[in-house]
């Protein structure tokens, strides 16, 4: 299982997707699962519910740009750019537990060198993105941004980050 680090408000946070979401992303069996609630709950414990809501909102705003870049790479037949765009989307989605989008972007990474297959898989990415956007919006609407008790990260310390964290 791979650990991934991200900077959140000047603090390096080490996260890893749950075993289920990582396996689903690799095998493509996650089409019915939109969000990894265990991973999101873990992030909320580390950085607070409000910050996770902000990250989900920011990702939701960036998904259309990712899709446009994927479409552009497909239109010009550039497999390297297509791979790069799909891989970037996969990484961002994976960090936030967006399971279905991660799996679809992973499949697009694998199909990038076959333009016909990549075109078909890109439709799956678009469908996963639309479902993910709806799922994130629903989660934000129902969970809100939390209260002040959940705002402060429990384990985040600005002065002494995780010894393996890379800044």
Assigned token pair, 15: 């996260």
Tens of pLDDT along the chain (167 residues) come to 333 444 444 444 444 444 444 444 444 444 678 999 999 999 999 999 999 999 999 999 999 999 999 999 999 999 999 999 999 999 999 999 999 999 999 999 999 999 899 999 999 999 999 999 999 999 999 886 554 333 344 444 344 344 444 43
Interacting residues of 118 by C-beta distance below 8 A, sequence separation 6+: 74, 79, 82, 108, 111, 112
Assigned token pair, 33: 């699962």
**pTM of the shown model:** 0.71
Domain spanning 30-142: which superfamily? Answer: HPT domain (1.20.120.160)
State the Cα–Cα distance between residues 57 and 62, nearest whole angstrom.
9
Q: What is the pLDDT of residues 85-126, one digit of tens each?
A: 999 999 999 999 999 999 999 999 999 999 899 999 999 999
């Amino acid at each position: 299982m791979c650990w991934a680090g991200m900077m959140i408000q000047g603090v390096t946070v080490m996260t890893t997707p749950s075993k289920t979401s990582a396996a689903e992303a690799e095998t493509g069996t996650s089409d019915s699962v939109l969000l990894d609630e265990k991973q999101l709950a873990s992030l909320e414990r580390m950085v607070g519910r409000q910050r996770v809501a902000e990250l989900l909102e920011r990702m939701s705003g960036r998904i259309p740009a990712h899709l446009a870049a994927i479409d552009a790479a497909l239109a010009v037949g550039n497999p390297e750019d297509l791979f790069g765009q799909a891989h970037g989307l996969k990484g961002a989605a994976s960090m936030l537990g967006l399971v279905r989008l991660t799996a679809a972007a992973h499949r697009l990474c694998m199909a990038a060198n076959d333009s016909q297959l990549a075109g078909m898989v890109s439709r799956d990415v678009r469908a996963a993105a639309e479902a993910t956007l709806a799922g994130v919006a629903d989660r934000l609407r129902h969970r809100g941004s939390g209260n002040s008790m959940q705002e402060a990260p429990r384990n985040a310390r600005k002065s002494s980050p995780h010894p393996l964290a890379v800044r």
